[in-house]
Amino acid sequence: MTQIAAEIRHQSPQCVGPAYCAAKVSLTVGRRRTLDALYREERAGLIAYLARRVGSERARDLAQDVFLRAATSKQLTELVNPAGFLRRIAFNLMVDEARRQKCRVRTQPLLENADAPSRAAQEDAVHVRETRQALEIALAELPEKCARIFAMNRFEKKSYREIHIELGIALPTVDYHMMKALAHLRQALGHSW
> What pLDDT is recorded for position 87?
92
> What pLDDT is recorded for position 169?
93
> What pLDDT is recorded for position 108?
66
> What pLDDT is recorded for position 116?
54
Contacts of 140 (CB under 8 A, 6+ apart): 147
Buried/exposed 133-154: b ≥16 CB within 10 Å, e otherwise: ebbeebbeebeeebbbbbebbb
Domain locations in the chain as residue ranges: 15-103, 119-192
Q: What is the mean pLDDT of each run of 10 residues along the chain (193 residues)?
A: 44 45 42 75 91 89 90 83 90 89 70 57 80 87 92 91 93 91 86 53
- Structure pTM? 0.40
Is 119-192 a domain of CATH 1.20.1250.20?
no
> What pLDDT is recorded for position 2?
45
